[in-house]
Structure 1
Amino acid sequence: MTTRDRTSLVRRWMFGGVALSLTLVTACGGQGGGGDDAAGATCKPAGGKVTLDYWSWVPGMQKAVDVWNGENPDIQITLKTVPSGNAGTYQNLSNALKAGKAPDLGQVEYDSLASFRLKGGLTDISSCPGVEQAGDTFVDWTWSQVEFGADGKDGVWAVPQDTGPMALFYRKDIYDTMGMKAPVTWDEYAEQARKLKKEGKLITHFSQTDPNWFTGLLWQNKATMFERDADSWKVTVDRPESRQVADYWQKMIDDKLVATDLQGFSPALYKAWNNGEVVTWISAAWGYSTIRDNAKSTGGKWAVAPMPQWKEGGRQAGNWGGSTTTVMGGSEHPAEASKFALWLNTDPEALEILNREGGLYPAAKAGLELPALQQPVDFYGKQKIFDVFAQASAGVDTGFTWGPTMTDTYRFLSDGTANTIGGRTTLGEVLEDTGEQSAESLRKQSLDVTE
């Protein structure tokens, strides 16, 4: 597996890790509790030299840290390179928080922010210098994710780092040969699937090990899985918008129009791409390198188009992947930590390094203008593919809400999908079961769940 592909795996919000305990821990210095605590009055510069610890799994992050350290002798960053979140880092952060030994800064994916906040693991940096003014610097939906809502009343609990706006990768050479164009609607996509099947090809694969991919499809249809009102949670996994997505893909599975024996990021899938047996992939911006590095024989034959829409003329997109830089609960220097977090995710040089070395698709609006993202990509027939992802990023719903036990929700969704592939249930039933199980998971953490 290539470095780029490992980076792609990071972007997937891997679900297969240990569940995090949501037992509240006390954040040192009064920072970052589970509700109304704020850095507020204590978010003041230290007035002297400080050294901050930072945990991140982004390849090449040390190069960005070196630039910062060279320009900021009074605020030095010590980087610890760690596994991706659910591959071990989240459990280690949880343990470090309980022991009062957490780093000042940590990398946390959007879907895990609510969990860490509930355990007192995050500092509200809304009153730290420069943070309140930074919202317009980032793609709108990412800022609403770190505020836990669009009204900004809840504080700011992280700085957005990267995103995974979704689009359609497709084999343009095969489409051209068959007289087809990139599909505009999901109905058209299904029609193309039927035509491709007659030619011995499958339009895509449906993986049972990527529930976060399926979540991105729900997100496109504004099918938020949770709703939050103050300290109460409502589980909305099974809702009409979700059912529309589930019923569509259930029919694709029932009619054998998609490959159900191929898992994401597997040698078998790469072989199917290389030999033209599977001809599209609905994926995120970072997916461009996954295809490029693992289907090398198809160079110049792929193109990228917007996600098919549920209604013709729509411009909605889902998101799959992305992380934030958090000031962890207990940090004694939130002002300095937030200053670094803002620089890391807005400075042009830092953005260029993280894109070049780590393959990140930036959350900062200025990052979308990076020269590397304006260039034609040879592998994709010299198409300027990142123009498509910039459009997709603007079409991601800002109101999508993650639950505080997403590891559990992903597991329920994955187990149910496996049963669907095995013919033992349907995706609609999986949504119903996942909703009920997720609600019970919240109750086990003594959280208030409303019907």
Structure 2
Amino acid sequence: MQHTKRAVGVALLTAGALVMAGCSASGGDSGGDAAACEPAGEDVTLSFTSWIPGIEDAVAMWNDANPDIQVEVQTGPNGNSGTYQNFFNQLEAGNAPDLGQIEYDALPNFRVQDGLFDLGACEEVMAAQDEFVDWTWGQVTLGTEDEVYGIPQDSGPMGLFYRSDLFEQNGIPVPTTWEEYREAAVQIRELGGYITNFSQTDINQFAGFVWQAEGQWFANDGEAWTVELTDDVSTQVADYWQDLIENDLVSTYPAWTDEWNNAYNSGEVWTWNSAVWGANSIASGAPDTAGNWSVAESPQWEAGGTAAGNWGGSSVAVFKGTKHPYEAAKFALWLNTSDEALTSLNATAQIFPATKDGVNLPSLQEGVAFYGDQPIYQLFAEIGNEVNPNFVWGPTMTQVYADVSDGFKSAVSGSGTLADALADAQASTIAALEAQSIPVAE
């Protein structure tokens, strides 16, 4: 599975396919031309819903500097914990906010439901393309050339967080391939520990493993969706982790629980294959291990490779029905490109910017004490450049995650396998698409 960088346009998500999915075209709210995104010519108040910690601080900075465009921010639970459903309810009722936080993997769902304003109608948005890391721009354009359905905010390139002290003390080399990772897992288990914890519920982490391995769960040729949860790459990744589970080489604590935190804080678990934002999760969950962690690139399927997966990342989208798309787009661009906003978001929520220059923020240049003063964000910036820009999310990812998670839980308990879970989710995903009259390729 050689890692190659392909043009973003390989997997097209065209407007035509989305029209066939049971929604209208871009419609009267945008029209795809600059005339649909012009200044209001009067004072404007925008509504914005987000779950990012401390987002109010950045919004306050904007409001102080822009008395003619005020933003009222409302915070709530993260997307899949209720905010997305609220958005869909509000869109149906015609009272959605002007702007909303939407993760990359959820954008296709909102697009299929015709809930997003096409920011390609805004000249300033199109002019900002080169400011963003290429693959993040691909996430918000959905593979199109002149449509934009959100402003990238952050990204989640994945690396290997590892207990450098334990590896060094026990003479175990830090693994650079997945084969070496398994070998290290055996050695660590003989010492009474686990190399990592396999999460039964973080299916987007597993998707990141597939992403790194050049797998592709969804594609759209302009006519219909192709669902490939059981392709050769996904099966290979599933079989790899199935082997580790069956041989008791990984723990299986429920993620984000006290058990999970204690496993890392006590040194029972030695590594975590996670995204850049995981740096804060470990620091807060395993405080007794401060100074003993380091970060490396993810293990590779081929020796010498540099492929990277991604886990997470959000955009700020403008909803259909807004009366002020120009002002909404202007705020969203400022929030996700200006030094002052990105510095604030990094301080309050450890946001890792999606802009190419974001890594140059002073706070991201420094060594991090918890990680032995290693400048980990500089490494993640390099890793981010290796993320394949073409990974496509499907329009029913909430359902996909739930169904795969149910299967993974069964596999961990000894009923079925991870590959079985993917096969079951393949069938249920196709059924879910068809139930919504979304065309599925034969």
Q: TM-score, normalised by structure 1?
A: 0.91
Contact 2:21 2:437 in 1 (8 A): no
Matches within 5 A, 1:96-245: 96-149=90-143, 151-153=144-146, 155-245=147-237
Tell me the alpha carbon deviations over residues 69-102 of structure 1, each in whole angstroms, 9 at most, x when there is no partner.
Answer: 1211221111111211111111111111111111
Contact 1:129 1:339 in 2 (8 A): no
Equivalent of 2:415 in 424, 429, 433: 424
Equivalent of 1:448 in 433, 439, 442: 439
1:209 is paired with a residue of what secondary structure?
A: coil
Q: CA deviation at 1:23?
A: 9.4
Q: CA deviation at 1:129?
A: 2.7
Q: CA deviation at 1:208?
A: 0.9
Q: TM-score, normalised by structure 2?
A: 0.93
Q: CA deviation at 1:181?
A: 2.7
2:123 is paired with a residue of what secondary structure?
A: coil
Answering whether residue 267 of structure 2 is matched by residue 276 of structure 1, we say yes
State how far apart, in whole Å, the 2-side matches of 1:197 and 1:168 are. 18
Answering whether residue 244 of structure 2 is matched by residue 246 of structure 1, we say no
Q: Given the superposition, is the C-alpha separation of residues 334 and 287 from structure 1 closer, same or farther in structure 2, using an over 3 Å criterion? A: same
Contact 1:27 1:329 in 2 (8 A): no
Determine what percentage of the aligned residue pairs are the same residue: 48
State how far apart, in whole Å, the 2-side matches of 1:75 and 1:25 are. 32
Tell me the alpha carbon deviations over residues 157-183 of structure 1, each in whole angstroms, 9 at most, x when there is no partner.
Answer: 110001111111111111001112321
Answering whether residue 424 of structure 2 is matched by residue 433 of structure 1, we say yes
RMSD, aligned CA: 1.7
2:248 is paired with a residue of what secondary structure?
A: coil
How many positions carry a matched residue from both structures?
423
Contact 2:294 2:374 in 1 (8 A): yes
Contact 1:170 1:281 in 2 (8 A): yes
State how far apart, in whole Å, the 2-side matches of 1:171 and 1:336 are. 47
One-letter code of the match for 2:185?
A: A
Structure 1 match to 2:313: 322
Equivalent of 1:412 in 403, 412, 416: 403
Equivalent of 1:286 in 277, 298, 301: 277
Q: Given the superposition, is the C-alpha separation of residues 24 and 446 from structure 1 closer, same or farther in structure 2, using an over 3 Å criterion? A: closer
Q: CA deviation at 1:313?
A: 1.3
State how far apart, in whole Å, the 1-side matches of 2:160 and 2:304 are. 16
Structure 1 match to 2:73: 79
Matches within 5 A, 1:245-394: 245-260=237-252, 262-394=253-385
2:47 is paired with a residue of what secondary structure?
A: strand
Tell me the alpha carbon deviations over residues 359-394 of structure 1, each in whole angstroms, 9 at most, x when there is no partner.
Answer: 211111111111111111111111111122112211
2:272 is paired with a residue of what secondary structure?
A: strand
Structure 2 match to 1:89: 83
Tell me the alpha carbon deviations over residues 291-334 of structure 1, each in whole angstroms, 9 at most, x when there is no partner.
Answer: 11121111111111110000111111111111100011111111
State how far apart, in whole Å, the 2-side matches of 1:82 and 1:426 are. 36
One-letter code of the match for 1:31?
A: D
Tell me the alpha carbon deviations over residues 127-180 of structure 1, each in whole angstroms, 9 at most, x when there is no partner.
Answer: 21311111111111110011101x514x11110001111111111111001112
Structure 2 match to 1:15: none
State how far apart, in whole Å, the 2-side matches of 1:387 and 1:187 are. 26
One-letter code of the match for 2:428?
A: Q
Q: CA deviation at 1:31?
A: 2.1
State how far apart, in whole Å, the 1-side matches of 2:312 and 2:381 are. 15
Structure 1 match to 2:4: none
Unaligned runs of 5+ in 2: 1-19
2:437 is paired with a residue of what secondary structure?
A: coil
One-letter code of the match for 2:402?
A: R
Structure 2 match to 1:31: 29
Structure 2 match to 1:61: 55
State how far apart, in whole Å, the 2-side matches of 1:107 and 1:248 are. 34
Contact 2:22 2:437 in 1 (8 A): no
State how far apart, in whole Å, the 2-side matches of 1:105 and 1:308 are. 38
Equivalent of 1:47 in 41, 51, 67: 41
Q: CA deviation at 1:210?
A: 1.2
One-letter code of the match for 1:114?
A: P
State how far apart, in whole Å, the 1-side matches of 2:419 and 2:113 are. 32
2:323 is paired with a residue of what secondary structure?
A: coil
One-letter code of the match for 1:109?
A: E
Q: Given the superposition, is the C-alpha separation of residues 63 and 160 from structure 1 closer, same or farther in structure 2, using an over 3 Å criterion? A: same
One-letter code of the match for 2:199?
A: S
State how far apart, in whole Å, the 2-side matches of 1:445 and 1:25 are. 10
Structure 1 match to 2:8: none
Tell me the alpha carbon deviations over residues 323-352 of structure 1, each in whole angstroms, 9 at most, x when there is no partner.
Answer: 100011111111111111111100000000
Tell me the alpha carbon deviations over residues 222-261 of structure 1, each in whole angstroms, 9 at most, x when there is no partner.
Answer: 212100122410101111111111111111111110012x
